[in-house]
Amino acid sequence: MAKHHSALGLATTLRPVQPVTLIRPHAAARAARFFVEKFPGRAMYAVKANPSPDLLQVLWDAGITHYDVASLGEVRLVSRTIPDATLCFMHPVKAEEAIAEAYFDHGCRTFSLDSIEELQKIMRATQGATDLTLCVRLRVSSDHSKLSLAAKFGAAPGETKELLFAARQAADALGICFHVGSQAMSPEAYSNAIERVREAIVEAAVTVDVVDVGGGFPSAYPGMEPPALERYFDTIHRAWESLPISYSAELWAEPGRALCAEYSSLIVRVEKRRGDELFINDGAYGALFDAAHIGWRFPVRLLREPDSNARDMEFSFYGPTCDDLDHMTGPFELPADVRAGDYIEIGMLGAYGAAMRTAFNGFGSDETVIVTDEPMASLYLDAAERREASNVVTL
C-alpha cells in the first residue's frame, strides 16, 4: 500500500483523478490504546463500523482482543484475519446455521438474544452446549443519541424476567447488554440504561456475570462535539459500581465509531461548481452514504497550495452518479473561491464510510494511501498535541 506524508501533499503533487481513501493507522491505534487503558472494563470492537482487515489488525496490535461480530460474514472475516481473537456474536436475531458455524468452526462462545425463541435457537444450534455466555439484550432509550437503535432489538420490561431466568438456566455465564444508540452525546445515556439493568436484575433475582454497555461512544463532527470520553467512562463506572453484582461481574463495551472514525478520510475532486453546489467524484453510493441519507455533517477542508484567503461559505455536494438522491446537503463550509479542479478532504469517514460503499453506476475507487498526518478531528489528542498538529504543514 502506498504511503504519503499528508493529504495536502498527496492532492497537490499527485492530483488524483479518482477519489482516494486515506488511512491513518496511528490514529486507530491511539484510539484503541485509549479504550484499553482507560475504559473500566473490557472493550471489544464492533466490526460493522469498519470491517477492513488492515484495521482489525491495527486494533489487535494495539490491545483489542475481543470483536463484536453481527453476521456469519464478520465471524469468518475476524476468524481468518486474527485467528486468536475472541468472537462475540452480538446480533440478537441469527440464523441457526450461522450460530452453529460460529460455535463449532470458529470457537465463538458468546451470543446475544432478546427472546425465548432466540434462546431456544441458540441451544438447538449448539446442541445444548454448556459453555455459553448468553447476553440478554434490553431495550433502552436512544434519546441522548443522534441515531436511534431503540426500535428494532431488545426485550421490553415485561419480557425480561422470564427471559433472564431461562437464559440463566442455560448459560455458563449470564450477561445483560443494551445499546443506547449511535453517537451518544451525553454520558447520561449510559447511567440511565444501567438503571434499567438494575431493575431487570432485581425483578428476575438472578446472578449476572457480565454487563455489556454496548456501543454509542461518540466521535467529533461539525455541530456534534461531545464531552470528553473520560466523562463517559467515569459515569459508566459509577453506575456500574452501584449495581448489586459489580463485585463479581465483568463490565464490557462495544465501541465501533469511537475506535475507527479517525482512521480514514477521503480526497475528492470538484468536477463542477454551480453556485453553492459542488459536483464531486464520490457521494451517496460511495463513502458519503451517511451524509446523503441521514444528513450527517463531516469536516471538510480545501487542499490547495497556497491556501485560499477567501471567506468560508456553505456548500452542498452532488455525487458523481446520475441519481438526484446522490446529494449531500451539508452544509459544508469551504472557502468561497473553491472551483472545479480543486481537491477537498472529507474527514472522519473511518466509521461506516468504507463499510457502506458500492460501485453503483460504475463510480468508485479502491485506491488507498497511508498518511502520517493527523485526522481532521480527534477526541484522543490532548490540547498541546492539537496545537502542534495544526501548526505543522507537511507536504
Q: Superfamily assignment of 40-254 in CATH?
A: Alanine racemase (3.20.20.10)
Q: Express each pLDDT in 115-128 by its tens digit.
A: 999 999 999 999 99
Q: Which member of 108, 135, 177, 322 is catalytic?
A: 322
Contacts of 241 (CB under 8 A, 6+ apart): none
Secondary structure (DSSP) of 333-389: EEETT--TT-EEEE---TTTTTTT---GGG-----EEEE-S--SS-SSS-HHHHHHH
Place of cell 479504550: 35
Half-sphere exposure of 16 (CA within 13 A, CB side): 27
Helix (H, G, I), strand (E, B) or coil at 43: strand
Cα–Cα nearest to 110, from 40, 194, 212:
212
pLDDT attached to residue 243? 93
Q: For the stretch 151-190, what's the b/e string if a residue is b when 16 or more beta carbons lie within 10 angstroms of its beta carbon?
A: eebbbeeebbbebbebbbebbebbbbbbbbbbbbbbbebb
pLDDT attached to residue 122? 98
Helix (H, G, I), strand (E, B) or coil at 265: strand
Sketch the domain layout of the chain as residue ranges.
2-23+261-391, 40-254
Which DSSP category does 183 fall into?
E
Q: Specify whether the CB–CB gap between 107 and 98 falls below 8 A.
A: no
Helices 72-81 and 53-61, axial angle in degrees (round to 10): 60
Q: Specify whether the CB–CB gap between 175 and 211 falls below 8 A.
A: yes
Is residue 322 annotated as part of the catalytic site, yes or no? yes
pLDDT attached to residue 381? 87
pLDDT attached to residue 384? 41
Q: Superfamily assignment of 2-23+261-391 in CATH?
A: Lyase, Ornithine Decarboxylase; Chain A, domain 1 (2.40.37.10)
Helix (H, G, I), strand (E, B) or coil at 323: coil
Beta strands in the chain (DSSP E): 2-4, 20-23, 42-46, 66-69, 86-89, 110-113, 133-137, 145-147, 173-177, 182-184, 210-212, 250-253, 264-274, 277-280, 300-303, 312-318, 327-335, 343-346, 368-371
Going residue by residue through the chain, which has 395 residues, state the pLDDT in tens, using 9 for 90 and above.
788 889 999 999 999 999 999 999 999 999 999 999 999 999 999 999 999 999 999 999 999 999 999 999 999 999 999 999 999 999 999 999 999 999 999 999 999 999 999 999 999 999 999 999 999 999 988 787 787 776 788 898 889 999 999 999 999 999 999 999 899 999 999 999 999 999 999 999 999 999 999 999 999 999 999 999 999 999 999 999 999 888 889 999 999 999 999 999 999 999 999 999 999 999 999 999 999 999 999 999 999 999 999 999 999 999 999 999 999 999 999 999 999 999 999 999 999 988 888 888 888 888 999 999 999 999 998 644 644 554 444 44
Contacts of 387 (CB under 8 A, 6+ apart): none
Half-sphere exposure of 127 (CA within 13 A, CB side): 5
pLDDT attached to residue 108? 98
pLDDT attached to residue 366? 83
Helix (H, G, I), strand (E, B) or coil at 75: helix
Q: For the stretch 8-23, what's the b/e string if a residue is b when 16 or more beta carbons lie within 10 angstroms of its beta carbon?
A: bbbbeeeebeebbbbb
Contacts of 243 (CB under 8 A, 6+ apart): 194, 197, 198, 201, 211, 249
pLDDT attached to residue 118? 97
pTM: 0.92
